Amino acid sequence: MAKRSGRPKPKSIKSKAINKNSKRKLDTLGKKLKKGYAGEAILYMTRSQALRKLSLSLKDFRRICILKGIYPREPKHKPNKTQTYYHAKDIAYISHEPIIDYFRKMKTFLKKLSRSHGRGEKSEVLRKWENKPEMNLDHLVKERYPTFNSALTDLDDALSMIHLFALLPATSSIRASKSQTCRRLCHEWNFYIIQSRSLRKVFISIKGVYYQAEIQGQKITWLVPHKFSQDLPGDVDFQVMLTFLDFYQVFLRFVLYRLYFTAGMKYPPSVDALRDCEGAEIDALTAELDVAPADSEESRELAGRRGRFI
């Protein structure tokens, strides 16, 4: 059947590109490119565009940006000075993050839990609470710190944050288990500093006590607040700080495991329950020598299976 001659088929309207690698065909003689199809317009996207692309709430988007180490960018020519911009590559990078699936599973879990609670099914609520989804951050530590030296250079903020929460009282936003975990990590860190004799400098100020230690050629400085009763201010967003704390706790466990592993000690160290209840703190810890040497292949394979620095 012969093709009918007549009006040519109209071309479809092209949508704006949000990918740097998107291609746009031009006419033979050239065509003026419309605004929003090339240049900085496809290198950056606003926060609202990122939320629509990832299908996340603002709270979850902030959490995943903190955990992945994604920060806002400042384009040279901002179309709107009041909006927050992110790099398009960063948004594409976190779009395949497994933590996003955890956020969605957690929302579904909370809906089911509230439904069972409204029906008065106590046994069902307990069963669902025991099987709630857990967030795993081990892979984020490996992504952000590919080597152990890079992890040591970024340890200052983690130590200062964990020592701060170790002294804060339990509130509606800060659980008692968080403070207990921070205190345990602080004791394990201080115990290693004592055993390895790595402490170099100490300085007392109004904010607290500054400590500086040298580990494998890296100088690490952290702040320990004074042990006074703390009044939590109301203008501080503790949810953002708790998100940082979740990552820092996992990060410090990785570092402590590697340090104890290198020193030939088992991690975590054994704790004398009686002395710990009496308030012995660091004195309640006991160093145990590892059976396998630190440089043996058996220890390296064990560290690799546990997902620790090797």
Q: Region 45-55: what's the mean pLDDT?
A: 89
For the residues 265-273, what does the mean pLDDT come to?
Answer: 82
The whole-angstrom separation of Cα 144 and Cα 38 is 30
**pLDDT score at 16:** 56
Written as six digits, the tokens of 177 are 């288990």
Would you state the pLDDT for residue 82? 82
Mean pLDDT of 159-173: 88
The tens digit of pLDDT for each residue in 109-124 reads 989 999 988 888 888 8
Query: Which is higher by pLDDT, 291 or 125?
Result: 125
226-248 pLDDT per residue, tens: 988 877 777 788 888 999 999 99
Measured CA to CA, the distance from residue 56 to residue 100 in angstroms comes to 8
CA angle (268 as vertex; 263, 271 as ends), nearest 5: 115
Residue 302 has pLDDT above 70, yes or no: no
pLDDT of 199 reads: 93
Nearest to 261 by CA among 218, 301, 233: 301
Q: What pLDDT score was predicted for residue 19? A: 54
Q: Per mean pLDDT, which range of 46-50, 52-56, 281-285, 296-300 is the poorest?
A: 296-300
pTM (two decimals): 0.76
Q: Which candidate, 63, 64, 83, places its Cα nearest to that of 74?
A: 83
pLDDT per position as a tens digit, 5-17: 666 666 555 555 5
Residue 44 pLDDT greater than 80, yes or no: yes
Tens digits of residue pLDDT in 74-119: 888 777 778 888 998 889 888 888 899 998 898 899 899 999 888 8
Instruction: Determine how many CB atoms are found less than 10 A away from the CB of residue 106.
Output: 15
Ranges 26-30, 38-42, 64-68, 164-168: which has the least confidence:
26-30
